[in-house]
Amino acid sequence: PARARLFAAPRRAEGRCAMAWPPGDKLEVSRCKHDTVAPIVHGVYSLHGENHGRPVFKKESQVAGVEVLIYYWDTRDGELFCGWWFGPKVG
Report d(CA 5, CA 60) in Å as an integer.
15
The pLDDT profile of the chain, 91 residues, written as one tens digit per residue, is: 444 444 443 433 444 444 445 557 888 898 888 999 999 999 999 999 999 888 999 999 998 999 999 999 988 988 888 888 999 999 8
Instruction: Say what the pLDDT of residue 30 is.
Output: 87
Least Cα distance to 69 among 4, 10, 19 occurs for 4
Strands (E), the chain: 3-6, 26-30, 43-51, 54-59, 69-73, 83-87
User: Does the global pTM surpass 0.85?
Assistant: no
φ/ψ of residue 80, rounded to 5 = -60, -30
